[in-house]
Amino acid sequence: MTTTATATTTATAATAAATTTARQASVQDAVELHGVRKVHGSGDHAVTALDSVSIGFPRGTFTAIMGPSGSGKSTLLQCAAGLEQPTEGRIVLAGVDIGEQNEKQRTELRREHIGFVFQAFNLVESLTAAQNVELPSRFAGRKVRPEQVAGALASVGLADRASHRPSQLSGGQQQRVALARALVTRPDVLFADEPTGALDTVTSKEVLRMMRMLVDQEGQTTLMVTHDPVAASVADVVVFIKDGRIADRIPLNKDSQSDNAAAVAAHMARLEA
């Protein structure tokens, strides 16, 4: 597994070495955050959700993002995906500096380069699995060929469920349809915010196994926010956030997921103490 070069850039630390690190990061990272600060609200109600966050997420790797409630995990994901604008700092997604894009260009960038899955599957009940996979692209005025839809469903093990409606599928299968929908345009980065939050242990495992396989077989760069150490244990690396800052970053061993889960749980307990 490639380890990331975490580029910490501040106005005063613009040394030649830092510049070199940043350049190396752009070559290998699918998403980079440089000195990102995000403040929600204003005045007395201002909340700093992210504070000086600088990190790169290497292509083809699976990162889990963990941290106590309110630590900034979802904000980090939303900013990294270009869904929210940082108050300060730069975000580079698929080699493009999001801050230099206008709203229309950002929308295009998101359409072309990211896929998103949430805790809620957000499938349309009256449509088949295949139609659900196709729907967002159709809304965006993009033509997705039937073989692309079939390919996306096959990649999540649902080739034989294309004409089933959500009510005819298990929770795990519905989340896999949502995964296929996120991946049909072959995005550079898959963002997942608590993708197993609404699933039981067995169906969670099914979805996580599929996400792991997509990283291993298709090189799908994946960033997943989770509260669950077992879910995090399938990742290559876990990034811990506390009070809007990166508190730690621990690499995991792909071959020992139960040891990983225990190590991640112990780390979380220390962070929350």
Ligand X SMILES: Nc1ncnc2c1ncn2[C@@H]1O[C@H](COP(=O)(O)OP(=O)(O)OP(=O)(O)O)[C@@H](O)[C@H]1O
What is the binding site for ligand X (CB under 6 A)? 40-41, 47, 49, 67, 69-75
> Shortest approach of ligand X to residue 250 CB, angstroms?
18
Question: Which is nearer to ligand X, 39 or 96 (by Cβ)?
Answer: 39
Q: Closer CB to ligand X, residue 61 or residue 75?
A: 75
- Judged by CB, which is closer to ligand X: 62, or 118? 118
Per-residue b or e along 154-178, where b marks 16 or more CB atoms closer than 10 Å to that residue's CB: ebbbbeebbebbbeebebbbbbbbb
Widest pairwise Cα distance in the chain: 58
Q: Which amino acid is at 197?
A: G
Q: What single-letter amino acid sits at 212?
A: R
Specify the residue for token string 């850039």. Answer: 9
Instruction: Output the smallest distance, CB 269 to ligand X, in A.
Output: 16
CB of 135 to ligand X, least distance (A): 27
* CB-CB contact of 34 with 69 (8 Å): no
Whose Cβ is closer to ligand X: residue 135's or residue 247's? 247
Kindly state the smallest distance separating residue 227's Cβ from ligand X, in Å. 6
Amino acid at 198: A
Residue 78 Cβ vs ligand X, minimum distance, rounded to whole Å: 8
Select 7 or 268, whichever has its Cβ closest to ligand X.
Answer: 268
Q: Report the C-alpha gap between 73 and 171 in whole angstroms.
A: 24
Residue 77 Cβ vs ligand X, minimum distance, rounded to whole Å: 8
Q: How far is the CB of 54 from ligand X (least distance, A)?
A: 17
Closer of 67 and 136 to ligand X (Cβ): 67
Q: Which is nearer to ligand X, 70 or 219 (CB)?
A: 70
